[in-house]
Structure 1
Amino acid sequence: MNAKLKVSTVMLGVKDVDRAKKFYVEGLGCEPEQDFPGFVKCRLGEGSSSLALYEWAAAAQDAGVSPEGAGFRGSSFHFITDSRDEVDEVMRTAVAAGGTAVKKAAAAEWGGYFGYFSDPDGYLWKVATTA
């Protein structure tokens, strides 16, 4: 058997599951698929991985690692679209839901258009056009 790696769910360790759920579900319109105390899993849309929100310390315990850690985690999530208007709309929606505009959407030297926001736990999202 040649199993190929794929991403079916992205899990975020969050400090407050209820706050994260409010941001992603109520603010950004993600659809809850599972909702338990300390854990929420959401559908993100056709062709996309699921998003799981898991209490930070419990996620660390589950993996058998220390919950200590801070700062940039060396990763970001990207939403690529064909429309500058959609980039602007997603950025506005994220900020209205309690996120932070980290870098305002603007034209890039390479021809695209992009901006960054962070969710309430500091996870970075890049919203961009391809050109």
Structure 2
Amino acid sequence: MSLQVTTIMLAVDDMDRSKQFYKELGASLGQDFPQFASFELAGGSALGIYPLAHAAADAGVPADGSGFRGVSFHHIVDGPEAVDKTIATAVAAGATIVRAAESAGWGGYFGYIADPDGHLWKIAAA
């Protein structure tokens, strides 16, 4: 068996808002249903979104989780200017800056944003 991630599923509060957010970041909308949507991402993977209550029911868990979910997504770009541009694009689409972009002790440059549902994205350049 070879482990790989083919689709990432996010639970969201507002399907229309989340669809618009990810489209504005350049994701290509594939399937589009009232209770599910999927996007094709660069590199061959996919992003699926479900309303929070449906996602929790699908997994058989309560929908009342909060705080850090123990997961963040990382988007690596070519340099500091691309980090700043990506963060600005995300903020214009509805993201919130969680950690302003800055130089890192390991020599890179990064910042964190949260999508409209609070999912964390690290935008970084080595």
Coarse TM-score class (shorter-chain normalised):
over 0.9
Could you say which residue in structure 1 is the equivalent of 2:113?
117
Q: Does 1:8 align with 2:6?
A: yes
Could you say which residue in structure 1 is the equivalent of 2:91?
95
Aligned-residue Cα RMSD (Å) equals 1.0
CA displacement, residues 63-103 of structure 1 (integer Å, 9 cap, x when unaligned): 11211211110110001122222111110000000110111
Structure 2: distance between partners of 1:48 and 1:119:
21
Mapping 1:62-73, distance limit 5 Å? 62-73=58-69
Structure 1: distance between partners of 2:64 and 2:14:
16
Moved over 6 A (4+): none
SS in 2 for 1:62: helix
TM-score (norm 2): 0.95
Structure 2: distance between partners of 1:128 and 1:57:
32
Could you say which residue in structure 2 is the equivalent of 1:41?
38
One-letter amino acid of the counterpart of residue 122, structure 2: K
Structure 2: distance between partners of 1:42 and 1:129:
24
TM-score (norm 1): 0.92
One-letter amino acid of the counterpart of residue 82, structure 2: E
How far off its partner does 1:56 sit? 0.6
Could you say which residue in structure 1 is the equivalent of 2:53?
57
Q: Percent identity?
A: 54
Unpaired segments ≥5 residues, structure 2: none
Q: Does 1:129 align with 2:99?
A: no
Mapping 1:72-83, distance limit 5 Å? 72-83=68-79
Unpaired segments ≥5 residues, structure 1: none
Could you say which residue in structure 1 is the equivalent of 2:26?
29
